[in-house]
Amino acid sequence: MDRIEPVAILLKTRCMVVRKKLLVFRGLIFGLLAFPLFTCGDALTEEAGQEIDRVSFEAYLAKVRSDAVAQGIRSKTVDVAFAELAPDPRVIKFDRRQPEFVQTFEEYLTARVSEARVSQAQRYYEDKRSVLSEIADRYGVDPEYLIAFWGLESSFGRYQGKYDVIRSLATLGHDQRRSRFFTSELHAALRILDEEHVTRETFVGGWAGAMGQNQFLPSTFNNFAVDYDQDGRKDIWSNKLDVWASIANYLQRHGWQRGAGWGFSTSAPTVFPEPSAMTTGCRALRQHSKKLKLSEWKSYGVDVPAGEPRDNALYALIKPQSGDSDVYLVGGNFRAILSYNCANKYAVSVGLLAELIVPS
């Protein structure tokens, strides 16, 4: 328990309340809220979905097949991928659904930076410290973040999703709402099969195509996945070395600065600065303030903890939940986390979990 006490420092007064709630509600919250992306959908049946035109679906597959072969994918690969393939009405329902409730920031952190998850993360970090440090050194990242992402994305590899990736992407690509995006992901998935990184039978993931222990989309896999042990496969489904190295490579390629941290909890400024000028791209970034040096933030009346590095680094102010009292200054590494999942709540949870894995 001594190693978890920094929660009170990291989350300040509000998260001390969260921590107390963990002791009372841990079992309930851990069971109901911790893994909604991986468990809620599995209970649905095909009867819940809408009717899909099989004729137009077959025509769509024929077009994808023609384009894939023209791009160098072997005909045999596409034939195996599309054999007896039927659309999955469940994924259309998921793509259309509206959330039944919205978690508060406090509830979100309680579910994701839970006492149980912190303890598991610390154990994995201690057990695999040597190889994690080796990977982190190669890619110039901080090793505790590899465990933090892994823990949050798939609960340390236990929840990877059970949906047929090819079937899900073909269904969503055939649907008109986001056809271009999902068709592109389907082509990327066919390339993964063609390069034999995974078998057709084991090519499973979340309902929208996120795959493996680090929940990469197929295009992300093709750009950032790593065959760390050089066995000829980039195996993010069952090979932890490939999983951790792929996360590390992703962070490095998105500008990660080792030792720079992600940000810190602070006080609200006396006057809020103007918002970010961003109007496109990651929506979470559009909720940030403009970026200022720490010395400039001090002039706004913001508390900057002693010892915070790199006074010339640029930080943005965020409030993960409107009307909430939680305020953070976040730096460049926070923006790298957002590239992985564009949600400020998610990025804060990654940062806090990483800090709790290796408490100061």
Query: Per-residue pLDDT tens for 57-109?
Result: 999 999 999 999 999 999 999 999 999 999 999 999 999 886 667 788 999 99
Mean pLDDT rounded to a whole number for the chain? 86
Q: Tens digit of pLDDT for each residue in 95-147?
A: 988 666 778 899 999 999 999 999 999 999 999 999 999 999 999 999 999 99
Residue whose tokens read 């901080």? 142
- List, edge to edge, every strand of the sheet that includes 263-266: 263-266, 327-330, 314-318, 292-293
Specify whether the CB–CB gap between 225 and 250 falls below 8 A.
no
Q: For the whole model, what pTM was predicted? A: 0.83
Closest CA relative to residue 162, chosen from 42, 31, 37: 42
Residue 308 pLDDT more than 70? no
| Exposure of 242 in the CB half-sphere (CA atoms within 13 A) | 22
Residue 314 pLDDT more than 70? yes
> What distance in Å separates the CA atoms of residue 144 and residue 152, rounded to the nearest whole number?
12
> What distance in Å separates the CA atoms of residue 250 and residue 259, rounded to the nearest whole number?
17
CA 314, distance to chain mean position in Å, is 24
